Structure 1
Amino acid sequence: MKILVTGSSGRIGSRAVERLLARGDRVRGLDMRASGRQAEGYEEIVAEPGDVSRAEQAVAGVDAVLHLGAFMSWSPSDRATMFAANVEGTRILLDAAADGGVKRFVFASSGEVYPENRPEFLPVTENHPCHSNTTYGLTKMLGEELVRFHQRTGSFETVILRFSHTQDASELLEEESFFSGPRFFLRQRVAQQRNFGNHAVADLLAAADPGIPAHILARNENGRPFQMHITDTRDMIQGVELALDASEAAGDIFNLGATDPVDFTTLLEKMSKITGYPVVTVDLPGAGVYYETSNEKIRQELGFKPEWTIDRMLTEAAEARTKRMTG
């Protein structure tokens, strides 16, 4: 099978390319950044999202598309870029795929379509209302509707995967990581909030700085610690592969992520034992992040079996941190 993978230089896309090549598929990558990959059976197109001619070139002769590429940001200044990449870019790719005779189109959506940070019930299932309250989530909702249009009109089979928050295990304890830095380390969270223009929150966090590097245990205004899913990239690739191959996945929507949510109180205690950093607790304005998303459907219907628990991820993260620290 010949498969187009968008976002082929990204965290999930690059791993998907590796997996597909390992099993003998031919793969074409499409990304804004060149991956530098040199492998038999692999070719790559470098293009901006929304480039019509490049999209047509990318889908030519492929059997399936894994549309994993997206632009993610929480900065208000990036709204236009998100709509251009995640909505218009998706529309252009779908139209090209329909004209090009693609048989299956797998779309990477997000749990932010629900929204996860203000769920109406727990656990969040695929039947939860899609009432996104983030710009990124909104662009993914619109992308889903574009995908469903092509399913309804018979362009090709489609599968929508609502992705959990995803990380490589090795970066969980990496202070400069895009995700883990501001999520688990105090000074990185302060810098992130200032960058977002949330100066009141940044000042609140900065006031708790003990004068040495520290972890941040974020709680909501009522003192409830944050809780969310953190899924290892390798488990996400397993789910993507099932969506690509399983006949019973056609036309359906699946939550894809870890089975159990992560309680930040417990996680930060474990992180602190590894790093030696103290844990600073700060109650932040608002309801905070607290959700549980069900992956029962993809486990029951497609046989998804996540293998990387948060403890297993943390063990690998500790090993990676030791290597970084010792050089």
Structure 2
Amino acid sequence: MKVLVTGGAGRVGSRVIATLIARGDQVVSLDLRENAQAGVSNVLGAFDDATAVERAMEGVDAVLHLGALMSWVAADTPKMFAANVTGTHLLLLAAKAKGVRKFVFASSGEVYPETRPAYMPLDESHPTKPTSPYGLTKLLGEDMVQFFARAYGMATVILRFSHTQDATELLDPNSFFSGPRFFLGPRIRQQEAFGNRAVVEALKPYDDGSEKHLISKGQDGALFRMPITDTRDIAAGVVAALDSERAIGQVMNLGTEEAIRIDEAVAILQRHTKLPAVEVTLPIPAVNYQTSRARAIEILGIRPQWTFERMVADAIAQRK
């Protein structure tokens, strides 16, 4: 089988490609960066570049559309809509024109209201009410994928990824996701970039220039709590969705069912970092939710293997 993987140089895309190559599939990566694994055909280009999309789609049997532009900086919103909405539409059009047999779309838990869920755990029937432009772009992508399934009979699968990390990122203050999530200084710098002055002002009094962990609470006093999924579990779910006939037409949450509170996560990290932690009440709603993975477990037949604690232990082992 010949598979096109968008975002093939990314964290999840690289792991998916490694699995596909190991079992003998032909793989094309469409990304702005090259995937250096042996056996990959690289097409360098943006998802909204029609010429690059056309080249990448040649002779393809299935598409794993894993790539996206993710940002919470207001100035990036036009670029994000170009990549995630226009790009997804171009990929669907090319897949239809080339007679691609299956199209798997990586959506996001941000299509739900992660700060104001109507009930928990969030299952696939929960109302989709994104609260970020990124979540909106993924919901628009879902709508387009479902339209192509209805209108043209395309075999499609939608996977809503939970927060996804490489294990090694969890201990790295400079990582894009884990730095601001678990460390005070990176969170201040992130919020300054976002222009969130109220959040910055709440954090600044705790910053004396030394490295500290951050335990975030929302304005109502609730601790931040969320599922954090290892890229290996996400990649395994993507490949299973590619292979499964039962997955066609389904929308599935993909990720761990373990929702870890920020204070519990920081306590696990502190065993290794030995850093102090500060608890700060922020002037925003807490991200506080849990998702159900029941549908994906039943249809795909696989369960997540990596708890947060196991991910941290793995990160320590890799450092050593």
1:105 aligned residue: 103
The aligned amino acid for 1:247 is: E
Q: 1:118 aligns with which of 116, 125, 143?
A: 116
Tell me how far apart the structure 1 counterparts of residues 129 and 169 of structure 2 sit (CA, whole Å): 31
2:151 aligned residue: 153
- The Cα of 1:120 is off from its aligned counterpart by 1.1
Q: 2:182 aligns with which of 166, 173, 184?
A: 184
Alignment pair present for 1:236 and 2:231: no
1:46 aligned residue: 44
- The Cα of 1:260 is off from its aligned counterpart by 1.0
Q: Which runs of 5+ in 1 are unaligned?
A: none
Alignment pair present for 1:194 and 2:192: yes
1:245 aligned residue: 243
CA contact (8 A) 1:115 1:132 kept: yes
The aligned amino acid for 1:127 is: S
Alignment pair present for 1:164 and 2:173: no
Alignment pair present for 1:18 and 2:25: no
Q: Any residues of structure 2 matched to 1:81-100 within 5 Å, and which?
A: 81-100=79-98
CA contact (8 A) 1:56 1:97 kept: no
Which is further off, 138-147 or 116-125? 116-125
CA contact (8 A) 1:7 1:31 kept: yes
- The Cα of 1:319 is off from its aligned counterpart by 3.0
CA contact (8 A) 1:56 1:100 kept: no
Secondary structure of 1:255 counterpart: strand
- The Cα of 1:304 is off from its aligned counterpart by 2.1
1:64 aligned residue: 62
| Structure-2-length-normalised TM-score | 0.97
Following TM superposition, where does structure 1 have runs of at least 4 consecutive aligned residues deviating by more than 4 angstroms? none
The aligned amino acid for 1:316 is: D
CA contact (8 A) 1:213 1:277 kept: yes
Secondary structure of 2:216 counterpart: strand
Tell me how far apart the structure 1 counterparts of residues 98 and 115 of structure 2 sit (CA, whole Å): 38
- Residue by residue, what CA displacement relative to the aligned partner does 1:84-141 show, whole Å, maximum 9, x if unpaired? 0000000001000000010000000001111222211111000001111110000001
Secondary structure of 1:14 counterpart: helix
| Structure-1-length-normalised TM-score | 0.95
Secondary structure of 1:3 counterpart: strand
1:218 aligned residue: 216
CA contact (8 A) 2:198 2:283 kept: no
CA contact (8 A) 1:220 1:283 kept: yes
- Residue by residue, what CA displacement relative to the aligned partner does 1:207-262 show, whole Å, maximum 9, x if unpaired? 01255210000011232211001000000011101110100000110000002111
Identity of matched residues, %: 49
The aligned amino acid for 1:263 is: R
Q: Which runs of 5+ in 2 are unaligned?
A: none
Tell me how far apart the structure 2 counterparts of residues 266 and 28 of structure 1 sit (CA, whole Å): 40
Tell me how far apart the structure 2 counterparts of residues 192 and 54 of structure 1 sit (CA, whole Å): 32
Tell me how far apart the structure 1 counterparts of residues 66 and 268 of structure 2 sit (CA, whole Å): 32
Tell me how far apart the structure 1 counterparts of residues 15 and 153 of structure 2 sit (CA, whole Å): 28
The aligned amino acid for 1:10 is: G
Which is further off, 202-211 or 222-231? 202-211
Tell me how far apart the structure 2 counterparts of residues 174 and 238 of structure 1 sit (CA, whole Å): 24
* Equivalenced residues, count: 320
Tell me how far apart the structure 1 counterparts of residues 175 and 217 of structure 2 sit (CA, whole Å): 21
- The Cα of 1:203 is off from its aligned counterpart by 2.2
- Residue by residue, what CA displacement relative to the aligned partner does 1:162-216 show, whole Å, maximum 9, x if unpaired? 0111000111001110111111010111111111111221122110125521000
